[in-house]
């Protein structure tokens, strides 16, 4: 189970300090949201900021591109220090080609789906992926309410991946807190992005710990029930 704090809700006037704070909580992965004002109605940061953070952090950088024409920019983000690049299936006409491009640059590759986008979009690329990111809010802003309807989608994807790509991990993004972490963990998510619940908390390190514990508790319960043969 991995908690990836999203810096979208950090204080951009002291971004390095906020990243160090969560890094010192013992996390492995940092989620970096890139928005272009076209694919989503908001603008965030570009490769220069990713490059600056790379100099001060050893975390795995999970770069979530909410941009049109991602093929134009993936190389810049990998050069800036992205370890994994996630593009939106809705944002390109050439999904297979962009996936190959990201792999050729040596980064892990993920594809994100908006809440209304069916899993079938990924049928012919699933074997190529390290991560599928299921959005649990409509992308564009931090601090939104979790969309419950995505839960059966997580369950369905989890079943499909067991058959076709067991190493591919399910990431969820949007509205994750202690309560929703339990729900997505039970459904099969393994990477939980959390922005507002971490950085808007008075104690971000404690918030990370609480979310992680809630998610792990749910995982343990699931395993125990399976062991005892109790139907979920
Ligand atoms: O991709 C995103 C928004 O498009 C963010 O990663 C996401 O919203 C995280 O923020 P929060 O946990 O506050 O919902
Ligand atoms: Fe994100």
- Residues 22-56 have pLDDT tens digits of 999 999 999 999 999 999 999 999 999 999 999 99
Q: Which pLDDT belongs to residue 156?
A: 98
| Predicted pLDDT at 221 | 80
142 Cα to the center of ligand 1, angstroms: 4
- Using the mean position of ligand 2's atoms as its centre, give its distance from the Cα of residue 77 in Å: 15
Rounded Cα gap, residues 87 and 102, in angstroms: 10
To test the pocket of ligand 1, the residue of 90, 137, 138 to mutate (highest count of ligand atoms within 8 Å of its CB) is 137
- Give the torsion through C-alpha atoms of 81, 130, 178, 148, to 10 deg: 120
Relative to beta strand 84-88, strand 60-66 is parallel
Kindly list the catalytic residues: 33, 173
Look at 192 and 218; give whichever has higher pLDDT: 192
Dihedral angle at the C-alpha atoms of 24, 180, 166, 226, nearest 10 degrees? 110
CA dihedral 215, 217, 219, 224 (to 10 degrees): -170
**Local confidence band at 5 (pLDDT 50, 70, 90 cut-offs):** very high
- The rounded Å distance from CA 195 to ligand 1 centre is 6
Question: Would you say residue 11 has pLDDT above 90?
Answer: yes
Mean pLDDT of 175-201: 98
Tokens of 197: 């619940």
Ligand 1 nearest-atom number relative to CA 138: 4
The closest ligand to the CA of 8 turns out to be 1
- Residue 232: predicted pLDDT: 54
Nearest atom in ligand 1 to 140's CA: 4
Rounded to two decimals, what is the model's pTM? 0.96
Query: What are the structural domains of the chain?
Result: 2-227 (3.20.20.70)
The answer to whether the CB of 6 is under 6 A from ligand 1 is yes
ipTM of the complex: 0.98
pLDDT of residue 223: 73
84 strand-pairing partners: 62, 108
- Do 77 and 34 touch, CB atoms closer than 8 A? yes
Between CA 204 and CA 83 the distance in angstroms is: 24
Q: Which of 100-104, 139-143, 172-176, 225-229 has the lowest mean pLDDT?
A: 225-229
Hey, is 33 helix, strand or coil? strand
Give the Cα separation of 230 and 212 in Å (integer). 24
Residue 231 has pLDDT above 70, yes or no: no
Report which ligand 1 atom has the smallest distance to the Cα of 31. Answer: 6
* CA nearest neighbour of 36 among 88, 109, 110: 88
pLDDT, tens digit (0-9, with 9 covering 90-100), for 68-92: 999 999 999 999 999 999 999 999 9
26 is in an annotated binding site: no
């Amino acid at each position: 189970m991995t908690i990836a704090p999203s810096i979208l809700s950090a204080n951009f006037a002291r971004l390095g300090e906020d990243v160090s704070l969560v890094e010192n909580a013992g996390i492995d992965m940092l989620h970096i949201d890139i928005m272009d004002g076209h694919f989503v109605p908001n603008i965030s940061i570009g490769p220069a900021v990713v490059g600056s953070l790379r100099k001060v952090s050893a975390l795995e950088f999970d770069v979530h591109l909410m941009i049109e024409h991602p093929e134009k920019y993936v190389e810049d983000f990998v050069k800036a220090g992205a370890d994994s690049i996630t593009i939106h299936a809705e944002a390109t006409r050439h999904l297979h080609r962009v996936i190959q491009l990201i792999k050729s640059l040596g980064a892990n590759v993920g594809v994100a789906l908006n809440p209304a986008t069916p899993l079938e979009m990924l049928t012919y690329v699933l074997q190529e992926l390290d991560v599928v990111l299921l959005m649990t809010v409509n992308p564009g802003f931090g601090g939104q309410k979790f969309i419950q309807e995505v839960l059966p989608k997580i369950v369905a994807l989890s079943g499909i991946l067991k058959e076709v790509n067991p190493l591919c991990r399910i990431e969820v993004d949007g509205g994750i807190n202690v309560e929703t972490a339990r729900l997505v963990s039970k459904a099969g998510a393994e990477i939980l992005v959390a922005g507002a619940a971490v950085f808007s908390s008075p104690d971000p390190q404690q918030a990370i710990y609480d979310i992680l514990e809630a998610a792990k508790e749910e995982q343990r319960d699931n395993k125990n029930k399976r062991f005892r043969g109790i139907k979920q």
